[in-house]
Amino acid sequence: MTAKETKLKGCFIIESNVFKDPRGYFFESFNQSKFNELIGKTVDFVQDNESFSSKGVLRGLHFQTGAYAQAKLVRAVIGTVLDVVVDMRKESPTFSKHFSIELSEDNKRQLFVPRGFAHGFIVLSETAIFSYKCDNFYNKESEQGLRYDDPSLAIDWRLPANEFIVSEKDLVLPTLSNRSI
């Protein structure tokens, strides 16, 4: 297992050693002690979530605040997604900057998203199963988000906008300039 920090401090690409043979493959998708050593801090995950989505489904950009802020370790179990994070930490030199990465069943990459980041993804394959570990429990009152099409972020979601499938809840999220952090 290896970790490479992205341009956003504290956000890491995690890659595992995949062992393939005629029967298929095997890899260790998570090891608590190795993971903590690689990212240089202790993260205790307490909740696992999984979603199934079709091509064009865009989920995000979501985050939780205060005592319920969450760090996440995300991956595509089946299919391919474009995963996007936005640094929401006001004190950070990369505040309001974003990073995107393709996560797929083929590349087996994972992304560690620290607390203080908005997170979202769009499905690029026909379908996808997306899995994420969280280091804090979900709390509806602490849930917040940003518009996926915020012009100040200028995120390239890699699909034409007319192919996006976005929830009503995500369509009414504020832009970065219209929210109070």
Annotated catalytic residue 25: no
Domain that holds residue 78: 2-178
- Banded pLDDT at 179 (limits 50, 70, 90): confident
Q: Is the pLDDT of residue 181 over 60?
A: no
Q: Is the pLDDT of residue 180 over 80?
A: no
User: Which residues contact residue 64 at a Cβ distance below 8 angstroms, ignoring those fewer than 6 apart?
Assistant: 70, 136, 138, 139, 142, 143, 144
From 62, 98, 138, 148, active-site residue: 62
The answer to whether the beta carbons of residues 157 and 98 sit under 8 Å apart is no
Annotated catalytic residue 68: no
Per the structure, the count of domains in the chain is 1
Between 178 and 141, the more confident residue is 141
From 98, 119, 132, 148, active-site residue: 132
Give me the CATH number covering residue 124: 2.60.120.10
pLDDT tens digits, 113-138: 999 999 999 999 999 999 999 999 99
3-state secondary structure of 68: helix
